[in-house]
Every structure is written in structure tokens, then in C-alpha cells.
Amino acid sequence: MGVFASTDDPVSTGHEQVVFCQDKQSGLKAIIGIYSTALGPALGGTRFYPYASEDDALADVLDLSRGMAYKNALAGLDLGGGKAVIWGDPEQIKSEALLRAYGRFVESLGGRYYTACDVGTYVADMDVVARETRYVTGRSVEHGGAGDSSILTAWGVFQGMRAASEHVWGTPSLRGRRVGVAGLGKVGKYLTGHLLEDGAEVVATDVNPKALAWVRSNHPQVSLVDDASALVAADIDVYAPCALGGALNDDTVPALRAKVVTGAANNQLAHPGIEKLLADRGILYTPDYVVNAGGVIQVADEIEGFNFDRAKLRATRIYDTTREILSLADAEGVPPAVAADRLAERRMAEVGRLRAIHLR
């Protein structure tokens, strides 16, 4: 099946379309994965990463594009799920020619796939890609883009946390709760602001001295702890992983004192089965891809012509979606992560099916 080298067969994953793209002169080797267009054109970012092998690049794009279908479905978007990877070290090979060659391949799909930024690609890169294709979001503000997506990501995480708080303590307000924020980056900083405004007490950590200096001067009331393990073991009500993936694992879950976990980080569950471990300990986990959808909601809005207020309204609905998932989880006796998957699959099936009604 491989085009650049030998690889596994992706057919069994159920993807609609997987496209291998190559431009030898610029060094472009990309794979675009479209998992589903049941709800509309597939939307998902382009990851530019020096994978060890083509198999690794393919496995990543298959996994990420499937994840986007679920995320976009629960975000209430009329968009399916896709993702792309460019195989190579962006520091070494990223160039105007390579990005524009990539843009031409995106254009060749005729709107079945919209791209955006991801690890290794930035707003400025999307402006270059856009010189060759209409099917690109995540552009700079000067080009009608949505700008920094972490603003609505943080807002959406806050809404998910309010829904979890209501479920556990009977009130969406975080007033008086101790919230542990791991990672004071783009999202963690905005989230800290929302929490403080709502009356929560924030305990935080980061590995970057600049992030710590920022919080010390902007929010001196935030208490800081040495590292994420100290935060996990701290007397907190809510844990908000806002750094890297795998925050919830066999070491952290048994040590966690919080009753709720709601954070921005992608892929918080280190492996399948962790959601059950959390449920067994009575910890309410709001699935990461549900609560961190504010960013994709923000960039998706560009397709209509970006309007911040409209996008914010959509991101605010993450509160309702999280409530629905938590109720479904209770009703069906499953962890919220399972309930979220079921709800996403239901929307893809029920709304996607409507295309069978012939119009002309």
C-alpha cells in the first residue's frame, strides 16, 4: 500500500480516503487522511513532523483524522474529520515551494478536505498554503483568519469544567473550588484568567520559567507547585491538564485527589482502560476532545467568514454538550469517554444519513 516505502494497509480502519502526495523537487512527502465526510468536508490540521518511518506517519494521520471526525461531530459542526501529515523536519525542509506544492494537493481534493495548523505548522504557513488552495483555515487575521485559537479553546475548557462542576457539586460555578492547572501555555493562561474571574483558587505548575514569571506578575494570587506530580498529589478539587498528552496514566490516576478532570491537553488518557480506572476511583473525567473543541470551532468559523461572537457562542455550547455526555454516561452506565464516542457516532449516523434524501 505504501507509496514512499512499505506500510500497513489502512483500509481496515474505515477511512474514506487516504492520499499520498509527493513533490520530489521541494522534498514534500505528505499523507492526507479523510476519515469521514458524513457531516461535511473533512477539517483537520497539518502536522509537520520528522517521523521515523512512513508507517509511523501513516499511523498518526489515520489516528488523528479519525479523532477529528469525533471532535467535529460533537462540536456541532457541519464538518467531517480529516488530518494531514507532512513527513520531514520542518526546521530543515519547510519552504515556500514545499508548502505551495502541499496546497496544490489540498486543492486537488476539490473541497473534500480543509486544512489548518497543527504541530509544526503556523498561521504564516497557512497563508502560504492559501496561495494555492481555497480549502484552508487557521489563517492570519490580516487574511480574514481567526487568529489565536487558544482563546476559544480555553473558553470551551472552562465551559466543560462548569458542566462537570454542576454534575458533581450541583452548581456550575467554580467559586471556592481549588483548580490545579498543569501547563501555563497559551491555553492554560487564558483558562487561569476565567477561573480566577469565577472565584476559583488556582494552583499551577509549568516547566518553563517564562510561563511561571508571567503568572507571578499577572496573577500573583496563583500558588505554584514544583511539578505535575506535586499538583496531582495536591489537595485540589479539579485537575486541568493543559500541557502534554498522557497526563492520566497508571501512576497519576491512583495519586489524584481531584474529583474532576477537565483540561485542554490532547490525548490525556495514556492508554485504553484509564477511563475505567478514573470511574472506579469516582473521578469525573470530561473527554479531552469534547472540551478542547473551542479551537477547531474558532478556525472552522473562518469558512463562513470569521465572526468572533458567533464562534464564542458555539464554543459556549461545550457546556451543554458536556452535560449531555455526562447524563448519557449515567444513563448507560459507562464512563463519559465511552458516552462521548457513542454520541459522536450517533450524530454522524443520524445527520450523515440525511444526504440520502435526494434533492434534485
Ligand X SMILES: NC(=O)c1ccc[n+]([C@@H]2O[C@H](COP(=O)([O-])OP(=O)(O)OC[C@H]3O[C@@H](n4cnc5c(N)ncnc54)[C@H](O)[C@@H]3O)[C@@H](O)[C@H]2O)c1
64 belongs to an annotated ligand binding site: no
Whose Cβ is closer to ligand X: residue 7's or residue 322's? 322
284 belongs to an annotated ligand binding site: no
DSSP letter (8 states) at residue 136: B
Q: How many CB atoms lie within 10 A of CB 170?
A: 7
Residue 159's contacts (CB-CB under 8 Å, 6 or more residues apart) are: 291, 315, 316, 317, 318, 319, 322
Please, what is the minimum distance in Å from the beta carbon of residue 64 to ligand X? Answer: 11
The window from 6-14, 15-23, 86-94, 199-207 that contacts ligand X (CB under 6 A) reads: 199-207
218 binds ligand X (CB under 6 A): no
Near ligand X by CB under 6 A: residue from 46, 149, 159, 322:
149
All three cell numbers of 171, joined, read 452548581
276 belongs to an annotated ligand binding site: no
Exposure string over 145-168, b if 16+ CB within 10 A, otherwise e: bbbebbbbbbbbbbbbbbbbbbbb
32 binds ligand X (CB under 6 A): no
CA distance 253 to 284: 12
| Residue 83 bears catalytic tag | yes
68 binds ligand X (CB under 6 A): no
Whose Cβ is closer to ligand X: residue 59's or residue 244's? 244
| Burial grade of 240 (CB within 10 A; 0-12, 13-18, 19 or more) | buried
111 belongs to an annotated ligand binding site: no
The window from 12-20, 130-138, 200-208, 303-311 that contacts ligand X (CB under 6 A) reads: 200-208
243 binds ligand X (CB under 6 A): yes
28 belongs to an annotated ligand binding site: no
Near ligand X by CB under 6 A: residue from 10, 27, 185, 246:
185
Distance from the Cα of residue 126 to its chain's centroid: 18
Instruction: Name the site residues for ligand X (rule: CB under 6 A).
Output: 149-150, 153, 182-188, 205-208, 211, 228, 242-244, 264-266, 292, 295
Active site residues: 83
